[in-house]
Amino acid sequence: DARRKAAEEARRAEERRIEEEHRGILSPEGRYRVHMGAFDLWAARPAQWKMRHSERRKCFEVLEAIRNEPDPDDDPDDEDEPPRLLIEPFEKLPGPRELPDYYELIRCPVDCRSVERALRRAPERSYASPWFFAVAVELMLTNAQTYNDEDSQIFEEAGILRRAFHKAMSARFPGQPLPKSVAVYESCDEPDWVRPPGWAPPITDADVADERDPFEADRLDLETQQRDEDEERALARAVADGGAMYGSSEHLANIARRFGRPGPGRPPKGPPKPPYVPTGRPVGRPRKYPRPEDE
């Protein structure tokens, strides 16, 4: 009986695998497609496929925390001009027509508006878990440091925002592992970790609704929703025009042309890649308050 039962379970698992592969959810290598807004990514089977209301609320609190991170170079005692917020250049990306070479290099464009838009959606259309929310935020910061020069102000400010992000995540999701800078380009698989006692993935609507929906009282009007959907579709077309999906060999080749190396942790293959020649890349704004080491 045990042998027959095991054979039956294996048969059903294989049927599910074939069905999921046919639907485009599962790759032939056994990796799952995860929707991240304007792009998709492949990952090992996620521990959960949708977040509880409390998890979406905490993720939004994390997003607001990094949005309120002030510029450390600004004078906090200046009453005439409040401190500038570091998130300003990360709030909304330029469009593909405004900055085409950005979308040649960056295959997974993320900004604060797209992260908030994903969190406000129904759980089945939002991020699958706090881990994938963290992946989205890390991609936003790593993208900025990939595209901009290492000595630019925006590169440095992305590092400051990353520290604020890690602090906010640790306070709300103790023990939750976080993706690493640059390495997130190669893998977005959530590491194994010890979850809180009694933890189980939310499956039913009752599991998801562990508290009131944090966005129930602040729904976007239909016109705003349509505009956001159109913007996301435009970004998706820009990503698709590059012929690359996040984590694909084409995306890693773009990174190779930018950095002159084959990608994080990858040995070189074949002839050397042609040098990456940007058509115009911002170097960041000049500092309002110069540092002693700049003099």
pLDDT tens track for 37-62 = 878 888 888 899 999 999 999 999 99
Name beta bridge partners: 70: 85
- pTM value > 0.85: no
Determine, yes or no, domain membership for 202.
no
How much is the pLDDT for 111? 93
199 in any annotated domain: no
CA distance 161 to 68: 10
Q: How many domains does the chain have?
A: 1
CATH number at residue 220: 1.20.920.10
Q: How far apart are CA 196 and CA 191, in angstroms?
A: 15
**Residue 104 falls inside a structural domain:** yes
Residue 284 within a domain: no
The DSSP result for 8-67, as a single string, is HHHHHHHHHHHHHHHTTSB-TTS-EEEE-SSSEEEESPPS-SS--HHHHHHHHHHHHHHH
- Whether residue 37 lies inside any domain: the answer is no
Range of the domain at 122: 49-192+208-259
Note whether residue 14 is domain-resident: no
Per the structure block, which two tokens stand in for 110? 């993320």
Strands of the chain, DSSP E: 32-35, 40-43
CB 228 within 8 A of CB 117: yes
What is the gyration radius of the CA atoms in the chain, in angstroms?
Answer: 21
Q: What is the pLDDT of residue 10?
A: 77
In-domain check, residue 41? no
Sign (positive/negative) of CA torsion 276, 277, 281, 287?
positive
Task: Give the pLDDT score at 237.
Answer: 67
Of the listed ranges 4-13, 48-57, 239-248, 275-284, the one predicted with least confidence = 275-284
Domain membership flag for residue 281: no
What pLDDT, on a 0 to 100 scale, did the predictor assign at position 42?
85
Give the H or E element holding residue 168. helix 153-172
Mean pLDDT confidence for 203-222: 88
